[in-house]
Structure 1
């Protein structure tokens, strides 16, 4: 079975990039590092894979990719760290900071 991946890269400038891969995750990360398609990551190489999840259906992957792209930096970092309490707390606040921070 072929899987679709949603992934997050940390770019050389410290920013994050969220994307999806239908042709294999390792291949897609290599394409980013080669600058194959230009765009955001081509100017911020090298990139490092910091998070990924596989999906059986493309529509599921696209939905998650869109959601993650709208997340704050703090929430993305909580996901990378697998800090589910922080992800949940950051989901409740619009400003991206948990209460009392």
Structure 2
């Protein structure tokens, strides 16, 4: 039996795109909704990081965790460049996927 797992490293931002949050999950839709509705207390709730601006998909959780840590170690400039290379207008990708 072929058991394919999916994991995502994602970046959320606030309305003005002045705050960035990086996370990892095995269910991007569910995690986005948790952040959006404030079910997860903490940074994203406090700074209203309700906009999905970037994500990458992985099939190995260890690779996803390594990537998450790598991105968290980057400068803000490098993170913004990565986001803009894939999402130049900084759209909320959750809207593109009809999650809102």
User: Could you tell me how far apart the structure 2 residues matched to 1:71 and 1:19 are?
Assistant: 14
Instruction: Confirm or deny: 8 A CA contact 2:9 2:56 kept in the other structure.
Output: yes
Query: How many pairs align?
Result: 82
Partners in 2 of 1:46 and 1:71 — Cα distance?
19
Larger Rg: 1
Root-mean-square deviation (Å): 1.5
* Runs of 5+ consecutive residues of structure 1 not aligned to the other structure: 84-101
Give the equivalent residue in structure 1 for 2:69: 66
- Output aligned runs, 1:1-101, within 5 Å: 1-12=4-15, 14-22=18-26, 24-82=27-85
SS where residue 6 of structure 1 aligns?
A: strand
Give 5+ residue unaligned stretches, structure 2.
Answer: 87-100
Q: Counterpart of 1:74 in 2: which secondary structure?
A: helix
Cα distance change, pair 11–44 in 1 and its aligned pair in 2 (3 A): same
In structure 2, relative to structure 1, the CA distance for the partners of 1:78 and 1:46 (3 Å cut) is closer
TM-score (norm 2): 0.75
Structure 1 length-normalised TM: 0.75
What's the secondary structure of 2:42's corresponding residue?
coil
Runs of 4 or more off by more than 6 Å in structure 1?
none
Whose relative contact order is higher, 1 or 2, with alpha carbons under 8 Å and at least 6 apart?
2
